[in-house]
A and B are shown apart, each in its own frame.
Chain A
């Protein structure tokens, strides 16, 4: 019955899916599982990343990376996804690098300053992640083109949702109800839109992108607030009606 169903379930549910697992159990005692890249792949890709501003997301960049890491041109065959591995590696490493922003996660407070809330941290971390693209933003449209290919789209979407989850978690979000989904979905949409806007932004220090981001956050706040009010109103009305009936003696 219920007991029997659990025992054979130590087979991984995700055996058939080649995707990186979206919602892993995050353990504090045990080290995290190995990422999507082997040590060799990581060494080649990390050597290739500095060449992206000059050569873009192309096979040449990958070749330069293999050369720098001590391999030969033929070693680019190590990557079954070819040049998309560069995009994937960039997304993966920049997502993990978010945890290093100590000045956002545990800010040193001056006297009588308020502790920054979750919302402030989310906005700050999103901006940091966008700025991590600034070196390669002139090449980012090539990466977006790669991500739009049907064979690569699942990985791209999975990375986007992992990024959104990472930002919320690092900001200290502890919601575990339906708002969990709403928060991550809205942040994913905001981030994707802003990233796309940033590829065409030529303003100094990306001021226009900053304003764009603030406007998107404000929109979400308004929508979220309105929906919350509607839900609250509906709940109160229903409950009030129920109580009125009970006061009239209806046994419900």
Chain B
């Protein structure tokens, strides 16, 4: 009896699209709140900010606002979003990439670029793997992020590692859609973990990735994606939209940022669609193009830049 009503409510939840919250967004660092229009004018190009539709020009600053708010508690936020599993995902992501591997002992190492990796989660893991497992002390990484607060957090954390103040680790404030300080065909590995769903123009970011990678270079993206099992999906959505903003409210005092984060996951293209976007940017995809993690809650997408045949 009780189980039947539980199933019915779960089934209904899977059909429902949760309504976007109408609570005021408290972006204490955002200066544009007073000016932000609720309805975009017709001649501007629009994009989605969670479930809200906003002009493209505005999305960047609103995302900046979100991440400035959560920078300090980014790990806590991720722990709640994924019940701590994000650490396992990131470990698996780095291991499957096998950075720093080489056929010769004296190879020049990999040049890596971690996009939207402000706090350094992925970057430190990549360097550790390259140094300790693949014996590649000359592999380097550039951590790039559009948000200086996140990068500051990353710099703080790097002090605890052995890479602080070494030429192997550098920081760059840049928009992934325009990496003009990075040369074309110069990067072995381009990674972006849990960042690309916040980009205003994903296609542009993919094309920039294509440009900076060497021929044969790897584009790797770890991101939330579509759960494959529909029953599990219903439970997961219920959890995301009900529990997570509530926890954000209680733990960090910022319900709106967490609401945005959950909505942005929902709006992000699912596995096949994103794989097709990667192919459209010119990459070759290995196998079917992605690997599901934990039933599809997250997925690793990879692309290889083709080599021009002489």
Which residues of A are interface residues toward B (Cβ below 8 A)? 18, 38, 40, 59-60, 63-64, 66-67, 70-81
Q: Could you list 7 A-B pairs, sorted by A, with CB under 8 Å?
A: A40-B306, A63-B103, A64-B103, A71-B307, A72-B188, A77-B96, A77-B304
Which residues of B sit under 8 angstroms from A70, Cβ to Cβ? Answer: 216, 307
A interface SS class: helix
A72 CA to B305 CA, complexed, in Å: 10
B101 touches A (CB below 8 Å): yes
B113 CB to closest chain A CB, in angstroms? Answer: 12
A51 CB to closest chain B CB, in angstroms? Answer: 9
Verify B284–A78 contact, CB threshold 8 A.
yes
Verify A73–B103 contact, CB threshold 8 A.
yes
A99 CA to B99 CA, complexed, in Å: 40
- From B103, which residue of chain A is reached at the shortest CB distance? A63
B177 touches A (CB below 8 Å): no
Contact flag A75-B101 (CB < 8 Å), given A40-B284, A70-B307, A80-B287: no
Verify B217–A72 contact, CB threshold 8 A.
yes
B interface residues, tally (CB under 8 Å): 26
Verify A77–B102 contact, CB threshold 8 A.
no
B299 touches A (CB below 8 Å): no
B215 touches A (CB below 8 Å): yes
Contact flag A59-B101 (CB < 8 Å), given A73-B188, A74-B189, A74-B217: yes
A35 CB to closest chain B CB, in angstroms? Answer: 14
Which residues of B sit under 8 angstroms from A66, Cβ to Cβ? Answer: 216
Contact flag A78-B103 (CB < 8 Å), given A59-B98, A72-B188, A73-B110: no
A79 CA to B288 CA, complexed, in Å: 11
A70 CA to B101 CA, complexed, in Å: 16
Which residues of A sit under 8 angstroms from B99, Cβ to Cβ? Answer: 74
A66 CA to B215 CA, complexed, in Å: 12
Q: In B255-310, which residues have CB < 8 Å from any A CB? A: 284, 286-288, 291, 302, 304, 306-307
B77 touches A (CB below 8 Å): no
Q: A18-B288, A79-B286 are in contact. List 9 more A-B contacts (CB 8 A).
A: A40-B306, A59-B98, A60-B103, A71-B215, A72-B217, A73-B102, A73-B103, A74-B189, A75-B304
Which residues of B sit under 8 angstroms from A76, Cβ to Cβ? Answer: 98, 101
Which residues of B sit under 8 angstroms from A40, Cβ to Cβ? Answer: 284, 304, 306
Which residues of A sit under 8 angstroms from B284, Cβ to Cβ? Answer: 38, 40, 78
A81 CA to B217 CA, complexed, in Å: 18
- From A64, which residue of chain B is reached at the shortest CB distance? B103
Which residues of A sit under 8 angstroms from B286, Cβ to Cβ? Answer: 77-80
B97 touches A (CB below 8 Å): yes
Q: In B197-251, which residues have CB < 8 Å from any A CB? A: 214-218, 220
Which residues of B are interface residues toward A (Cβ below 8 A)? 96-99, 101-103, 107, 110, 188-189, 214-218, 220, 284, 286-288, 291, 302, 304, 306-307
Partner pick for B216 among A38, A59, A71, A80, CB 8 A cutoff: A71
Verify A77–B103 contact, CB threshold 8 A.
no
- From B110, which residue of chain A is reached at the shortest CB distance? A74
Which residues of A sit under 8 angstroms from B216, Cβ to Cβ? Answer: 66, 70-72, 74-75
Verify B307–A77 contact, CB threshold 8 A.
no
A111 CA to B288 CA, complexed, in Å: 56
A53 CA to B110 CA, complexed, in Å: 27
Which residues of B sit under 8 angstroms from A81, Cβ to Cβ? Answer: 287
Verify B97–A77 contact, CB threshold 8 A.
yes
Which residues of A sit under 8 angstroms from B220, Cβ to Cβ? Answer: 77
Which residues of A sit under 8 angstroms from B103, Cβ to Cβ? Answer: 60, 63-64, 67, 73
Verify A73–B101 contact, CB threshold 8 A.
yes
B80 CB to closest chain A CB, in angstroms? Answer: 31
Contact flag A75-B102 (CB < 8 Å), given A40-B306, A80-B287: no
Contact flag A74-B307 (CB < 8 Å), given A40-B284, A60-B103, A80-B287: no
Which residues of A sit under 8 angstroms from B302, Cβ to Cβ? Answer: 77
A74 CA to B243 CA, complexed, in Å: 40
B199 CB to closest chain A CB, in angstroms? Answer: 22
Which residues of A sit under 8 angstroms from B96, Cβ to Cβ? Answer: 77
A64 CA to B101 CA, complexed, in Å: 11
Verify A72–B214 contact, CB threshold 8 A.
yes
B251 CB to closest chain A CB, in angstroms? Answer: 37
- From B99, which residue of chain A is reached at the shortest CB distance? A74
A78 CA to B286 CA, complexed, in Å: 5
A78 CA to B96 CA, complexed, in Å: 11
- From B213, which residue of chain A is reached at the shortest CB distance? A74
A66 CA to B98 CA, complexed, in Å: 15
| Residue among A40, A70, A77, A81 with most chain B CB within 10 A | A77
Which residues of B sit under 8 angstroms from A79, Cβ to Cβ? Answer: 286
A92 CB to closest chain B CB, in angstroms? Answer: 16
A77 CA to B304 CA, complexed, in Å: 8
Verify A63–B214 contact, CB threshold 8 A.
no
Verify B291–A80 contact, CB threshold 8 A.
yes
B219 CB to closest chain A CB, in angstroms? Answer: 9
B193 CB to closest chain A CB, in angstroms? Answer: 15
Which residues of A sit under 8 angstroms from B98, Cβ to Cβ? Answer: 59, 76-77
- From B107, which residue of chain A is reached at the shortest CB distance? A73
- From A75, which residue of chain B is reached at the shortest CB distance? B216
